[in-house]
């Protein structure tokens, strides 16, 4: 295990330091995994991970395709990362297992390593970014992992992990690039082809590329005609940029609500394995991710984190017309999301879906004015979610008050009715909807 006192004041390591090179993630000698490794992983981990369901969704009718959800958020730790973590830990030498292992992670890889490490009696040290999810930090600690907060993002945390691994003679298990991680994640592909043997396409959330790489090897080895599409947030398009450049490249300002996919540089093994097999890698706006989280709550009764919902978000973005009428599997890769974050995502998603709206209206500062506004909202069937007054800082005169109101409504057409009612009654209305501001 790591002595916390010895690593507290370590400065940010230099990314160019050759001593920090991870031999299992060497850009000069990338490792391409093969199907035999995935098959071996399936047998090795089968008693320690859940064979998750892959069921047809009622959303199929809305999008004119047969949509199946592979529900990896039902794993014990809440994500697909259980597969790779267990596979990697079971292949340690006895000496490596005695010393323990170290990893950097924004959350899910850390939780999975900590959980399976506790089952296998292997000490686990996790380096997490300082701004990582508090819930995920606590889950790691609950399973017995030593959590150290170092670095402002996963890229910096990885540098710290490499340095600490070197100082303490620990094996570093890269959560998206260690070969045993990739082959473990590939077992999802084997299961999908068993559950939906006539699948036409599989949509895969992409961060560092470990899941994409493993799945590509598994699926293309059995059914090479299946279309595999990777999807990531346009705020952190690391794998997409790697595909364009022909090699992994650093992505600046990699911050995303899909924190599990916020990897600045694609894994070298992942890229080398996947780039010739994947059919497309597409980036999407995060507004579709918020909406996807809400849709999964409404229609699937499933709590899925932003990273895990990107596969459905891609369908909602309507950028793949070739999938119409096809049988499509979306991997819902994880469900570990803070309640406070989920609340914000739901509100944002409801607004984007046309179920929440906000407006600012200027009223005469009289007791009956608010009552009149409430009657209008009642008549139109809008439910007040939040309302506030502004007298002091309003640019209106002292005989007027500015009222900000957030309402729950039925749909976009309901907004139109409300807009008309407000415009008819009031001279000054500022309408905020779907990040657009319309002033009458």
Query: Do 31 and 96 belong to one domain?
Result: yes
3-state secondary structure of 332: strand
- Distance CA(412)–CA(398), nearest Å, equals 35
Query: Do 301 and 371 belong to one domain?
Result: no
pLDDT of 282 strictly over 50: yes
Q: Please, are residues 295 and 243 in contact by the beta-carbon 8 Å criterion?
A: no
User: What is the per-residue pLDDT across 102-126, written as a single tens digit (0 to 9) for each?
Assistant: 999 888 999 999 999 999 999 999 9
Phi-psi region of 47 (alpha: psi -120 to 50; beta: other; left: phi over 0): alpha
CATH of residue 412: 3.30.70.260
Query: Do 388 and 296 belong to one domain?
Result: no
Of 314, 335, 353, which one is at a domain's C-terminal end?
A: 353
Specify the range with the lowest mean pLDDT, choosing from 15-19, 302-306, 391-395, 404-408.
Answer: 391-395
Of 300, 335, 353, which one is at a domain's C-terminal end?
A: 353
Of 353, 382, 406, which one is at a domain's C-terminal end?
A: 353
User: What is the per-residue pLDDT across 324-336, written as a single tens digit (0 to 9) for each?
Assistant: 999 999 999 999 9
User: What is the per-residue pLDDT across 235-267, written as a single tens digit (0 to 9) for each?
Assistant: 999 999 999 999 999 887 677 888 778 888 999
Query: Do 268 and 156 belong to one domain?
Result: yes
Query: Do 402 and 349 belong to one domain?
Result: no
The band of 230, judged by pLDDT with boundaries at 50, 70 and 90, is very high
pLDDT of 436 strictly over 60: no
Query: Do 390 and 263 belong to one domain?
Result: no
Distances (CA, A) of 419 to 382, 422, 428: 11, 5, 12
The band of 438, judged by pLDDT with boundaries at 50, 70 and 90, is very low
Query: Do 336 and 395 belong to one domain?
Result: no
Distances (CA, A) of 319 to 232, 278, 288, 419: 13, 17, 12, 31
Query: Do 331 and 422 belong to one domain?
Result: no
Q: Which domain holds residue 32?
A: 1-353
Query: Do 74 and 158 belong to one domain?
Result: yes
CATH of residue 146: 3.40.50.1100
pLDDT of 144 strictly over 90: yes
Residues in a beta bridge with 229? 203, 280
Mean of the per-residue pLDDT values for the chain?
91
Query: Do 216 and 361 belong to one domain?
Result: no
User: What is the per-residue pLDDT across 61-77, written as a single tens digit (0 to 9) for each?
Assistant: 999 999 999 999 999 99
Return the higher-pLDDT residue of 319 and 252.
319
Which range in 105-109, 130-134, 137-141 is most confidently predicted, on average pLDDT? 137-141
3-state secondary structure of 383: strand
Query: Do 176 and 111 belong to one domain?
Result: yes
pLDDT of residue 173: 97
Query: Do 135 and 204 belong to one domain?
Result: yes
Q: Please, are residues 90 and 45 in contact by the beta-carbon 8 Å criterion?
A: yes
CA angle 218, 108, 199 (to 5 degrees): 30
- Distance CA(88)–CA(263), nearest Å, equals 20
User: What is the per-residue pLDDT across 351-382, written as a single tens digit (0 to 9) for each?
Assistant: 888 888 889 999 988 888 889 999 989 998 99
CA proximity to 157, closest of 33, 12, 331: 12
Please count the structural domains in the chain.
2
* Residues of the chain above pLDDT 90, percent: 68
User: What is the per-residue pLDDT across 187-228, written as a single tens digit (0 to 9) for each?
Assistant: 999 999 999 999 999 999 999 999 999 999 999 999 999 999
H helix intervals, 248-366? 268-274, 286-300, 306-316, 339-352
User: What is the per-residue pLDDT across 384-423, written as a single tens digit (0 to 9) for each?
Assistant: 999 988 777 777 777 888 889 999 988 878 888 888 889 8
**What's the average model confidence in pLDDT over 15-28?**
90
pLDDT of residue 398: 78
pLDDT of residue 439: 39
């Amino acid at each position: 295990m790591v002595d916390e006192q010895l690593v507290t004041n370590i400065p940010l390591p230099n990314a160019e330091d050759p001593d920090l090179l991870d031999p299992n993630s060497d850009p000069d000698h990338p490792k391409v995994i093969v199907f035999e490794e995935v098959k071996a992983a399936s047998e090795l981990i089968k008693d320690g991970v859940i064979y998750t369901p892959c069921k047809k969704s009622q959303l199929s009718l809305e999008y004119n395709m047969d949509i199946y959800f592979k529900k990896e958020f039902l794993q014990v730790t809440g994500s697909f990362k259980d597969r790779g973590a267990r596979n990697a830990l079971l292949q340690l030498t006895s000496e490596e297992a005695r010393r323990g292992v170290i990893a950097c992670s924004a959350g899910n890889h850390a939780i999975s390593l900590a959980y399976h490490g506790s089952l296998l009696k292997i000490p686990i040290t996790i380096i997490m970014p300082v701004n990582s999810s508090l819930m995920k930090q606590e889950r790691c600690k609950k399973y017995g992992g030593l959590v150290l907060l170092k670095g402002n993002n996963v890229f910096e945390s990885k540098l710290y992990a490499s340095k600490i691994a070197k100082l303490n003679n620990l094996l570093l298990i890269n959560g998206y690039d260690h070969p045993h991680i990739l082959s473990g994640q590939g077992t999802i592909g084997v299961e999908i082809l068993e559950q939906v043997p006539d699948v036409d396409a599989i949509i895969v959330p992409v961060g560092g590329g470990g899941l994409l790489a493993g799945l590509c090897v598994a699926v293309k080895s059995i059914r090479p005609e299946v279309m595999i599409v990777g999807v990531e947030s346009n705020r952190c398009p690391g794998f997409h940029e790697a595909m364009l450049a022909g090699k992994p490249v650093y992505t600046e300002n990699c911050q995303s609500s899909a924190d599990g996919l916020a990897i600045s540089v694609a894994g070298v093994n992942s890229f080398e394995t996947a780039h010739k097999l994947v059919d497309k890698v597409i980036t999407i706006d995060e507004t579709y991710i918020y909406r996807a989280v809400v849709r999964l709550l409404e229609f699937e009764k499933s709590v899925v984190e932003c990273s895990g919902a990107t596969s459905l978000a891609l369908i909602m973005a309507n950028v793949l017309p070739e999938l119409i009428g096809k049988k499509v599997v979306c991997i819902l890769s994880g469900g570990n999301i803070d309640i406070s974050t989920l609340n914000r995502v739901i509100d944002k998603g409801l607004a984007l879906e046309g179920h929440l709206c906000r407006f600012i209206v200027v009223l005469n500062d009289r007791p009956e004015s608010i009552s009149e506004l409430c009657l209008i909202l009642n008549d139109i069937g809008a439910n007040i979610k939040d309302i506030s007054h502004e007298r002091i800082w309003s640019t209106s005169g002292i005989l007027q008050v500015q009222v900000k109101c957030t309402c729950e409504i039925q749909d976009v057409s309901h907004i139109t009715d409300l807009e008309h009612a407000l415009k008819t009654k009031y001279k000054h209305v500022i309408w905020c909807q779907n990040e657009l501001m319309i002033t009458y």
